[in-house]
Structure 1
Amino acid sequence: MKKKKVLSILMAACMITALTVGCGGKEEQQSGEDSASGGGTVSIMGWYDEDDMQGVIDAVNEQLGGDYTLEYTYVSLSDYNNVLGTQLASGEGPDIIMDGAQFPARVKAGNLEDITDKDYVEEFSEEGLALSKQDGKVYGIPTYGWFSGIWYNKDILNDCGVEVPHTFDEFVAACEKIQAAGYQPMGFGLADGDTGWASLSGYLENSFYHNNDENPDGTEFDAQFASGEKTLDGNYNEAVTKWYTLIEKGFINAEMLGISNQDALNSFKAGDVAFFNGGPWQYNEIKESGLNFGLMPQLSDTGEEVYTGGGPSANVGINVNAANKEGAEKAMEAFASIEVQQEFVNANPGSPSYRSGVESELPEEYADIADTVNSGRMAVNWDRWSVNMPAETMNNEAISQLQGLVSGDLTVDEFVQALDAKADSSRYE
């Protein structure tokens, strides 16, 4: 989601190269060192600002030992899927393919090498391989894990005599008390952000997929939905209606449709808002504001075995048409190393790793979400949908239709039916 202004992966190259020969494509490689005899450059492209991840850059190059040079091309997130998709469709593209929720689509299209038998794959947990595994085969590895939650202003809660809520009903009651005291309960920037969808999907993770006696193994539902065997309509409606309480009571309102996510975050940092949906990628910015804050998991009905939004972040794998296949294989070994995986975590305070041997220390402000994160209860529905439909397309549709829900132009049933309609037109098969 949205959310991740988190990682960069390696050295900057130029956008022109990416658009013409796929950054490290066959023509460029042949004019450089002979990859067949070892050495040369290995190309990778991504949407993260390389300045944020110099530690990762250094760690990868140290692992490569000078035998190869990994070159990184930055492409803005808004253009990334089009640029990468165009390159791959033409049989080119970077030697190492990096992608997030769209990674399963790259696998489905046959763009990635099977790495199932590589020893380093065994060092990653099954949860970490969720986006890169299809039909029992593995095509990539995660770089790190992300999770989301709800930031809260401790001073506002203390001033209003409110305890940190653990259930959805407690949260609603807390917002009512905070609002009555003259504070703004929730902050959302719905003009350009996905935090509304993150809030709803986080509640769905708890109330529909988990902790639900009538749907004890809810995650199997997503495989059926992705294949077209099930619809959201008739299944999601009750849970979405319960979450809609936040809109009915005005905690999420139409005025927020004209507010940017950064402006909403700024209001939270200024101490004007009690609760703000976000995650570790905002930690340093909030910390520097001097706010007295904490991070809690997404909402549930029971307060037990709480889940929060999250999952593997960017995944990396080998392009089947890699110009430097040997170098790409060495680069993958570097990405899988403890040293590089540790640098990914170090660059993102509190973010988990799916690689054994990597340590992640949660900041003190994460005390309320620590059990959820340490227990691995981090998941989102769109990761499960992505096995047979483009996750980005579904997310964009959900964000767009949720604006209609907030404005009052859509009912809950119409919102759910709109997602079904988009799924029907987007499935791969």
Structure 2
Amino acid sequence: MARITRKTTARAATAAGALAATALVLSACAGGSGSESDDTLTLWHYEGENSAMGIAWDQAIRIFEEETGATVEFEERSFEQIRSTASQVLNSDEAPDLMEFNKGNATAGFLASQGLITDITEAVEEYGWDDQLAPALQTTARYSDEGVMGSGAWYGVPNYGEFVTVYYNKDAFAEAGLEVPTTYDEFIAVLDAFVAQGVTPLAEGGLEYPLGQLWYQLALSQADRQWVNDYQLYENPVDWSGEEITYATETLKEYLDAGYFSPDVTGIAAEDAGLSFINGTSPIFVSGSWWYGRFVDEIADFEFGVFPFPDSDLSLGSSGNIWVVPERAANKELAYEFIDITMRPEVQALIGNNGGLPVAADEADITDEKSLELIQAFNAVNEADGLSFYPDWPTPTFYDALVAELQELVNGTKTPAEVQQSLGEEYDSYVADFR
């Protein structure tokens, strides 16, 4: 058995911010990498023990210890503990050797710009991780001097992914005499057919992220890769009255008026939207791969499947969170060896066979039929360079702004043009500093 020290139980409810910060600093002082010998790797991550990544990384620990003779001191942290105290802890001698961290400009990019995590470009080239990762997956691993993702040095390595797709109730489709749509016109015809039968076709939630992700998918259906680079990577100004965003905002209002989702959507949380698909109330759900394993476990009364959003070359999605090596880590070479093990086919297969989306797995190693269905859909998006990240990524405050403005849209308190103007002002107030 692996010699794993579990210092913190992350799945317990997170405490208030100050308490979490205090607890993290105290536990770090009790046994961080600054006090460890050269044959100990201190590892922090926040994946659940029974999650796909948790299972795979536990096996990676066993392989690492057997092959290197080093000991892994695994300290399980909650996401909030790591996020809220990262700058403080990483700027001390108590930093771990290797840590899971959230990707994006406001998270990993910020740490990179502050010199708190290591430029690992040489290790990436040495181990060949760049050859294993599709271009869009590399975007969240590289950051400029200003902390903007997509270019510059490598500061992290992802070994799993995520994306948004269209879930559908196969039994409901069959009972309604409907087939999986392959064009956008066919998709609208399916929605209209369900409405005509008195069924609200789209499981949707406007209290949290789902409605904003549908809005962004509609924009992506009219966009190309350059538009994504402008929106996400600040390469050129974004026209907030342009065809992509105008189409998304006006079409979302048309969906509401047509009865495609509930008029009470502003009070529906993501969990409730997911449950309306699980219980068969709504036969279609446009959402992320993070639901897939749960649907496999909890849907008992019908068969479900997935299909890509029709007539769109681009899809929401990205790498998963990334491994980062703190600049003050005591054992960086051990960290690189561990990362490399997590990229091996056998560990990638564990991610895939337990409901995750591996980034470098051989499909022949995926023995679970349902898992393979999702992985093949994800691989198809990657092969087309279709991953286009998420609508709230450009600024640290854009998630709240998007939720609030789309609520105004569906409540009828703002027109599409007014919503776009407000979102544009929010976006530009932050992005202007990077141009």
Q: Give the match for residue 49 of structure 1.
A: 48
Aligned residues: 398
Is 1:234 the counterpart of 2:242? The answer is yes
Q: Give the match for residue 213 of structure 1.
A: none
Q: Give the match for residue 179 of structure 1.
A: 195
Task: Name the amino acid aligned to 2:163.
Answer: F
Instruction: Provide the C-alpha distance between the structure 1 equivalents of 2:158 and 2:44, rounded to a whole number of angstroms.
Output: 15
Indicate how the Cα distance of structure 1 residues 412 and 31 shifts in structure 2: closer, same or farther if over 3 A, else same. Answer: closer
Instruction: Provide the C-alpha distance between the structure 2 equivalents of 1:51 and 1:205, rounded to a whole number of angstroms.
Output: 34
Indicate how the Cα distance of structure 1 residues 11 and 395 shifts in structure 2: closer, same or farther if over 3 A, else same. Answer: farther
Instruction: Provide the C-alpha distance between the structure 1 equivalents of 2:322 and 2:379, rounded to a whole number of angstroms.
Output: 25
Q: Give the match for residue 275 of structure 2.
A: 266
Q: Give the match for residue 13 of structure 1.
A: 7
Q: Give the match for residue 340 of structure 2.
A: 333
**Map of 1:301-312 to 2, 5 A cutoff?**
303=311, 306-312=313-319
Indicate how the Cα distance of structure 1 residues 59 and 325 shifts in structure 2: closer, same or farther if over 3 A, else same. Answer: closer
| C-alpha contact (below 8 Å) 2:55/2:351 kept by paired residues | no
Over the matched positions of the two proteins, sequence identity in percent amounts to 21
Task: Name the amino acid aligned to 1:73.
Answer: E
Instruction: Provide the C-alpha distance between the structure 1 equivalents of 2:364 and 2:325, rounded to a whole number of angstroms.
Output: 23
Instruction: Provide the C-alpha distance between the structure 2 equivalents of 1:264 and 1:410, rounded to a whole number of angstroms.
Output: 24
Indicate how the Cα distance of structure 1 residues 368 and 199 shifts in structure 2: closer, same or farther if over 3 A, else same. Answer: farther
Instruction: Provide the C-alpha distance between the structure 2 equivalents of 1:42 and 1:367, rounded to a whole number of angstroms.
Output: 31
Shift of residue 179 of structure 1? Answer: 1.3
Shift of residue 293 of structure 1? Answer: 1.4
Is 1:318 the counterpart of 2:325? The answer is yes
Instruction: Provide the C-alpha distance between the structure 1 equivalents of 2:204 and 2:358, rounded to a whole number of angstroms.
Output: 26
Q: Give the match for residue 73 of structure 1.
A: 76
| C-alpha contact (below 8 Å) 2:230/2:238 kept by paired residues | yes
Indicate how the Cα distance of structure 1 residues 122 and 40 shifts in structure 2: closer, same or farther if over 3 A, else same. Answer: same
The secondary structure found in structure 2 opposite 1:184 is coil
Instruction: Provide the C-alpha distance between the structure 2 equivalents of 1:62 and 1:297, rounded to a whole number of angstroms.
Output: 37
Instruction: Provide the C-alpha distance between the structure 1 equivalents of 2:419 and 2:55, rounded to a whole number of angstroms.
Output: 43
The secondary structure found in structure 1 opposite 2:397 is helix
The secondary structure found in structure 1 opposite 2:285 is strand
Indicate how the Cα distance of structure 1 residues 330 and 413 shifts in structure 2: closer, same or farther if over 3 A, else same. Answer: same
Q: Which moved more, 1:61-70 or 1:321-330?
A: 321-330
Q: Deviations over 1:292-327 (max 9, x none)?
A: 21111124xxx3x63322221111121112244444
Instruction: Provide the C-alpha distance between the structure 2 equivalents of 1:371 and 1:32, rounded to a whole number of angstroms.
Output: 42
Indicate how the Cα distance of structure 1 residues 409 and 70 shifts in structure 2: closer, same or farther if over 3 A, else same. Answer: farther
Q: Give the match for residue 97 of structure 1.
A: 99
Listed as ranges, the gaps of 5+ residues in structure 1 are 1-9, 211-216
Query: Higher helix fraction: Structure 1 or Structure 2?
Result: 2
Shift of residue 400 of structure 1? Answer: 2.9
Q: Deviations over 1:311-364 (max 9, x none)?
A: 211111211122444443433333343343333333325x24147899557637
Instruction: Provide the C-alpha distance between the structure 1 equivalents of 2:137 and 2:375, rounded to a whole number of angstroms.
Output: 23
Taking only aligned residues, the RMSD between alpha carbons, in angstroms, comes to: 3.4
Q: TM-score, normalised by structure 2?
A: 0.78
Task: Name the amino acid aligned to 1:232.
Answer: W
Is 1:244 the counterpart of 2:243? The answer is no
The secondary structure found in structure 1 opposite 2:264 is helix
Q: TM-score, normalised by structure 1?
A: 0.79
Instruction: Provide the C-alpha distance between the structure 1 equivalents of 2:6 and 2:22, rounded to a whole number of angstroms.
Output: 14
Instruction: Provide the C-alpha distance between the structure 2 equivalents of 1:209 and 1:246, rounded to a whole number of angstroms.
Output: 23
Q: Give the match for residue 155 of structure 1.
A: 171
Indicate how the Cα distance of structure 1 residues 417 and 354 shifts in structure 2: closer, same or farther if over 3 A, else same. Answer: farther
Instruction: Provide the C-alpha distance between the structure 2 equivalents of 1:172 and 1:30, rounded to a whole number of angstroms.
Output: 56
**Map of 1:403-422 to 2, 5 A cutoff?**
403-422=407-426
Q: Deviations over 1:71-125 (max 9, x none)?
A: 1322145x65323344346686433232233323332332221111222233422
Instruction: Provide the C-alpha distance between the structure 1 equivalents of 2:131 and 2:163, rounded to a whole number of angstroms.
Output: 21
| C-alpha contact (below 8 Å) 1:95/1:324 kept by paired residues | yes
Q: Give the match for residue 293 of structure 1.
A: 304
| C-alpha contact (below 8 Å) 2:45/2:75 kept by paired residues | yes
